[in-house]
Amino acid sequence: MMKVNNKKNKTKNSENNNLPLHLIGSATLLSIGSICFLLKKTKNSNSKLIEQSKMIEQSELIEQSKLIEQSKQIEQSKLIENYNSKLLEQSTLIENHGKKIKYLCYENQKLFSMLRNIQNDYTKPYETFQTTYDSFNNQWKDIPIPDLDNHINLCTDLMLKWTELPRKWFKSKKVLDAGCGIGRFSYGFLECGAELKSIDFSSNGVEITKKNCQKYNHKNVHKVNLLEYNDNETFDFVWSYGVCHHTGNTKLAMLNLFSKVKKGGKIFLMLYGFPEKIIDYEELNNYEQLRKELIVLPDEQKMDYLKKRLIELFPCVMEGYNTTEDYYASDHGRMLLHGYFDAVSPPINELLSYEEIFTILNNNGFSNIRRCNDNRNIHIIADKL
């Protein structure tokens, strides 16, 4: 059996060995070709992969470069922003200091003027007293307050708000309106049922107050100089709104009013205050500049000059008006003119600090001294012990 199998194998091998040579070569060539094709394909694939890898690498480098550039730009932008912020801050500080210095220069000029006129008589007001009196006397006559009824009602509401007293408190109380002007607060006290006496140094003010308060037949209105007000009459409540600082001797005027308050009575004062905020300095600089310009003009020219200067200072008020005459014929225009004339025409305008007013009141028998608002102009009320 083994012999037979060996014979078969030999026969098979012999058949394979007897294949033609050209067939064997073709097979080999096909195999080599396939291998070369695969090698070439692999090489191409590798080449593409390398190319893609380079492209990805270049893309990443470009992105990194962009990020670095953006980071630099952001950093530079922050540096510029910080620099501009510091410049603005320094510019604001310089501007604010300039306003303060300008105001202090004005005050220095006024102090020297006061010193030259005080002389040896403490009670004598300086030489601009008559000019101040004339200014108010003309103001009450020539610059009427627009929409007077509504203005008076507003003043009554403000009086009750600032004093924190109900209307019924004033009923049958003896009240003094010291420096009544045209009677706007006098009307409010009468409306609340007070027994009122009104005084003013302006003869025009006295007559106009009588007219504005004729509904209550108010005839207890008198021409009085606060610096010479030394009778023995006393009151439950003394009101003086924006008056003492125009007299030429603010402290003496205050002391004379203190003597008019009964024990257990109250006093209310509004006095011009020193500037505290930057906007206060700017406002007062405008006032002082206009005062310097008006003081050299004749009375008959002051009004027209102030009208022109207010338009220059506040050009926006002309929106909706064709001419300055149209604007000053409006309630807003007349109120602006009245307010500014009141502030800048009188040459005597003394300023006080809250601390100074508090000390004067405290040293003269008053307690429960309190400020009624947080404006530059000081509204203060106190009780007499």
Mind listing the pLDDT tens digit for each residue in 1-12? 444 444 444 444
Region 304-321: what's the mean pLDDT?
A: 94
Query: 114-128, 187-201, 205-219: lowest mean pLDDT where?
Result: 114-128
Contacts of 166 (CB under 8 A, 6+ apart): 160
Q: How far apart are CA 258 and CA 363, in angstroms?
A: 11
Region 320-331: what's the mean pLDDT?
A: 93
Query: 46-50, 157-161, 165-169, 227-231: lowest mean pLDDT where?
Result: 46-50
CB-CB neighbours of 27 under 10 Å:
11
Q: What's the confidence (pLDDT) of residue 118?
A: 64
Region 352-359: what's the mean pLDDT?
A: 92
Q: CA 359, 365, 369, 372 torsion: positive or negative?
A: negative
Q: What's the confidence (pLDDT) of residue 16?
A: 47
What 64-68 contacts at long range (C-beta under 8 Å, 24+ apart), as own/partner pairs, is none
Whether the Cβ atoms of residue 346 and residue 234 lie closer than 8 Å to each other = no
SS (H, E, C) 195-221: EEEEEECCHHHHHHHHHHCHHHCCCCE
pTM for this model (two decimals): 0.72
Q: How far apart are CA 222 and CA 196, in angstroms?
A: 12
CB-CB neighbours of 172 under 10 Å:
9
Helices marked H in 236-373: 250-258, 278-294, 299-313, 324-329, 331-344, 354-362
Domain ranges of the chain: 42-118, 129-274+351-384, 278-344
- Using CA atoms, how far residue 373 sits from 238, 369, 370, 377, 383, in Å, is 19, 13, 9, 9, 17
More confident residue, 120 or 141: 141
For residue range 20-45, what is the model confidence (pLDDT) as tens digits? 555 455 555 556 666 666 666 666 66
CATH top-level class of 129-274+351-384: alpha beta
CB-CB neighbours of 136 under 10 Å:
22
Q: Which residue has the tokens 């210095």?
A: 101
Whether 15 shows a pLDDT value over 70: the answer reads no
Query: 88-97, 139-148, 331-340: lowest mean pLDDT where?
Result: 139-148
Whether the Cβ atoms of residue 330 and residue 322 lie closer than 8 Å to each other = no
Write phi, then psi, for 346 (nearest 5 degrees): -70, 125
Residue 200: strand pairing partners: 223
Region 217-230: what's the mean pLDDT?
A: 95
Q: Which residue has the tokens 């320094």?
A: 90
For residue range 44-101, what is the model confidence (pLDDT) as tens digits? 666 777 777 778 878 778 888 888 888 888 888 888 888 888 888 888 888 888 888 8
pLDDT tier at 117 (50, 70, 90 boundaries)? low
